[in-house]
Amino acid sequence: MAFVFDGLAHVVFASETQRKRFMEITIEESPVIRKTKELCQTILDEPGVRSIRQRIDAFMDDEKSRTQYEDLVAKGQTLQEKQQNAMQLTDGEIAEFEQQREALMNNPVARGFLDAQEELHQVQQSVHKYIKKTLELGRMPAEEDLAEGSCGHGCGCHSH
C-alpha cells in the first residue's frame, strides 16, 4: 500500500479496488452513518413528513396539475428572461401570468404540493441548522445557539 500525504493528509491507496473497499467499509460501518440512517428513518416515520410525501405523490400522479404547474413555471421564466433583457412586459402578459397563478393556487392538489414543498424545505433547514451548529460549536447546540442571528457563545455579540 503506497501512502501519499498532502496538506490535508489524504491517503491514496495503491489500487482503486482497495480504495473503494476502504470507502465502503468506512461508510457502512461509521457510527455517524448509522445514526444518520436512524435519523432518516425517524424523519420518514414522522406523521407530518408522511403527510408531506402523500401530497407530493398526489401531485405527481395528477397529470393535469403537473402540466398546470409546469406551464406556469415556463411562463414565469419567459417573463423573467424578458425583464432581464430590459424588455417591457405588457399588461396582458402580466394579467395572463397572474390568471394562471391564481388558477394554480385554487387547484387543491397543486396547492397541497406547493405547501408540502415549503414544509419539506423547513424540515431540511431545521435538520441542517442543528447539524451545522453542532459541528461549528463542537457540542449540542442550545436553543439560544439556534436562534436566528446567533453565532454561539463567546462571539461577543451576546449581552450578558
Q: Which three cell numbers stand for residue 104?
A: 394554480
pLDDT per residue as tens digits for the range 104-145: 999 999 999 999 999 999 999 999 999 999 999 999 999 999
Residues 136, 141, 144, 146: is their CA dihedral positive or negative?
A: positive
pLDDT per residue as tens digits for the range 53-89: 999 999 999 999 999 999 999 999 999 999 999 999 9
Task: State the pTM of this model.
Answer: 0.68
pLDDT band at 14 (very low <50, low <70, confident <90, very high): low
Predicted pLDDT at 30: 84
Predicted pLDDT at 140: 93
CA atoms of 42 and 56, how far apart (whole Å) = 19
